[in-house]
Structure 1
Amino acid sequence: MAADGYRWIPDQHGAWAMLAVPFLAGTFLAPHPGPEHVLLLAAWLLGYAAVFHAQQWLRLRARGLRSAARHGRPAVVLGAAAATAGLPLVLLNPWLLIAGAAAAPFVAVNTRYAVRGRERALVNGLVAVVPACGMLLVAARLGGADPAATWRPALACLLYFAGTVPYVKTMIRERRSPAHRCGSVAHHAVALAVASALSPCLAPLFTICLVRAAALPGRGLRPPVVGAVELALSAALLTTLLLTLKASCRRC
């Protein structure tokens, strides 16, 4: 039973920080975080898990593999649970339907890549980052924040998590690719410039990100170490956003 329960949890370990950090930043940057955010978090995580299993079911079924069946039940049960958590929120906040509709094209692109067995593609990873970081705007709006005041932390999250996609590839699957390494370093250099313009307080963190993108590939670090570094940087991003941008995100 424990093993079966574990299989219900998506094994995309790198996705969890991307799901959590923008949500938490939006929640605690808002002037009035509250119980609705608990329901939103439940719907968000359950919905992610349901979509993951649905995509895997489609991918395996397209290849005629019987192993697709093991993803059917989790997709249905988790999807129903996500809907149960989300329905009260939508009834109280109909604008959430617009947020969902805005995320739908990105989910559709990710689903297409999954069906084709190309979940690891660079573009697919970058596409997935957009709705995840958009959750910051949703959580902040639910807590009463002015949408015009939350674009800076959302963009900071987008810059950081978009950078993790090519960087992680240079550390694992594309560790021998000079093109991927150059692309990763170029992204981080641009991200540093943009983040510094958003807030000088973001510059130290994005400088560290640039240094690690330039210096760590080729060092032979094991995946758990790579993951630990990214987890620490994700926590540093959340802390920086909450400490430096909170005042600007409060409604006047």
Structure 2
Amino acid sequence: MAARRRWVRVWVPDQHGAWAMLIVPFLAGTLLAPRPGAAHALLLTAWLLGYAAVFHAQQWLRLAARGLRSAHRHVRPGVVLGAACAAAGLPLAVRHPWLLLAGAAAAPFLAVNAVHARRGRERDLLNGLAAVVPACGMLMAAAALGGLGPGGSWRPALACLLYFAGTVPYVKTMIRERGSAAYRRGSVAYHAAAVAAAGALSPWLLPPFTAYLARAAALPGRALRPAVVGAVELACSAALLATLLLAF
């Protein structure tokens, strides 16, 4: 058991809040598509392995830039997970070459994340927003793999982007920027605008996005533990997924 915990600590990224952002758009695109299939399981495997590999690469950049020897511990997981991602993705790329273009579209956002990692500024607002875009774009990739083109997938992808982009400033108001009135006002203003934008995409989106606005206005300032903040976001993510499946 101790060996297993040590393995998880070394190999599995500890950014727990990222998992919903990785999985919800993917599931939405897969379930909205008319022909979900085994290829989606392979794509999900490559997607999660790729995320883990990039995480370790960014941690290596961050620590190596400071000259810390602890950077070395991220080399093996990054290489092994990257190779596993390539092995899972290669059959998909051969059969669906357009996935390579989808991956290339994510490159500029990964570059932003890499620059922030090297500078030790991974918690910057821009860095968090840059990570959200390719994660939400995965909805369109998963939908296309199942036969749903951009005309049917851009609205749910944009709804995901509206929600997950809002989690970046909101979570900061709950943890790292807990006492910042400016962050709180900015978060509430963003969520108010997101309600209007989501309602324009579909009336079904108004109830969850109104709830997201309410939690952005009411919860900051309360002494909630990070685990409780995370649980609230899991519930919000689940509500988003259910609403997307109803709305689109």
* Residue from 236, 242, 247 that aligns with 2:245: 242
Alpha-carbon distance in structure 1 between the residues aligned to 2:234 and 2:117? 25
| More RCO (CA 8 Å, sep 6+) | 1
Runs of 4+ aligned residues of structure 1 deviating over 4 Å after TM superposition are none
Determine helix, strand or coil for the equivalent of 2:17: helix
Alpha-carbon distance in structure 2 between the residues aligned to 1:111 and 1:173? 21
* Residue from 2, 10, 17 that aligns with 2:4: 2
* Residue from 48, 61, 65 that aligns with 1:62: 65
Determine helix, strand or coil for the equivalent of 2:148: coil
- Is 2:223 the counterpart of 1:220? yes
Alpha-carbon distance in structure 1 between the residues aligned to 2:118 and 2:6? 24
Alpha-carbon distance in structure 2 between the residues aligned to 1:142 and 1:227? 31
Determine helix, strand or coil for the equivalent of 1:13: coil
1:137 to partner: Cα distance: 0.3
Q: After superposition, give the CA deviation of every residue in 1:9-45 in whole Å (9 maximum; x if it has no partner).
A: 0000100000000000000000000000011000000
Alpha-carbon distance in structure 2 between the residues aligned to 1:134 and 1:188? 20
Amino acid at match of 2:221: G
Give the TM-score taking structure 1 as reference length. Answer: 0.96
- Is 2:235 the counterpart of 1:232? yes
Identity %: 74
Alpha-carbon distance in structure 2 between the residues aligned to 1:45 and 1:5? 17
The correspondence of residues 70-85 of structure 1 with structure 2, limited to 5 A, is 70-85=73-88
Determine helix, strand or coil for the equivalent of 1:31: coil
Alpha-carbon distance in structure 1 between the residues aligned to 2:176 and 2:96? 42
Count of aligned positions = 245
* Residue from 163, 168, 179 that aligns with 2:166: 163
Partner of 1:174: 177
Q: Is the 2:173–2:183 contact (alpha carbons within 8 Å) kept by the matching residues of 1?
A: yes
Alpha-carbon distance in structure 2 between the residues aligned to 1:58 and 1:69? 10
Alpha-carbon distance in structure 2 between the residues aligned to 1:134 and 1:76? 25
The correspondence of residues 8-19 of structure 1 with structure 2, limited to 5 A, is 8-19=11-22
Alpha-carbon distance in structure 2 between the residues aligned to 1:160 and 1:235? 12
Q: After superposition, give the CA deviation of every residue in 1:112-153 in whole Å (9 maximum; x if it has no partner).
A: 101111111111001100000000000000000021111110
Q: Is the 2:17–2:230 contact (alpha carbons within 8 Å) kept by the matching residues of 1?
A: yes
Give the TM-score taking structure 2 as reference length. Answer: 0.98
Amino acid at match of 2:110: V
* Residue from 37, 43, 48 that aligns with 1:40: 43
- Is 2:97 the counterpart of 1:94? yes
Alpha-carbon distance in structure 2 between the residues aligned to 1:175 and 1:233? 20
Alpha-carbon distance in structure 2 between the residues aligned to 1:192 and 1:77? 42
* Residue from 197, 206, 209 that aligns with 2:209: 206
Determine helix, strand or coil for the equivalent of 1:150: helix
Alpha-carbon distance in structure 2 between the residues aligned to 1:191 and 1:59? 33
Amino acid at match of 1:217: P
* Structure 2 portions without partners, runs of 5+: none
**Pairwise CA RMSD of aligned residues?**
0.7
1:5 to partner: Cα distance: 1.5
Determine helix, strand or coil for the equivalent of 2:34: coil
Q: Is the 2:204–2:246 contact (alpha carbons within 8 Å) kept by the matching residues of 1?
A: no
- Is 2:113 the counterpart of 1:110? yes
The correspondence of residues 188-207 of structure 1 with structure 2, limited to 5 A, is 188-207=191-210
1:209 to partner: Cα distance: 0.3
1:243 to partner: Cα distance: 1.7
Partner of 2:143: 140
* Structure 1 portions without partners, runs of 5+: 246-252
Determine helix, strand or coil for the equivalent of 1:32: coil
Alpha-carbon distance in structure 2 between the residues aligned to 1:214 and 1:62? 38
Q: After superposition, give the CA deviation of every residue in 1:190-219 in whole Å (9 maximum; x if it has no partner).
A: 000000111001000000000000011001
Amino acid at match of 1:81: A
Q: After superposition, give the CA deviation of every residue in 1:147-171 in whole Å (9 maximum; x if it has no partner).
A: 1111110000000000000000000
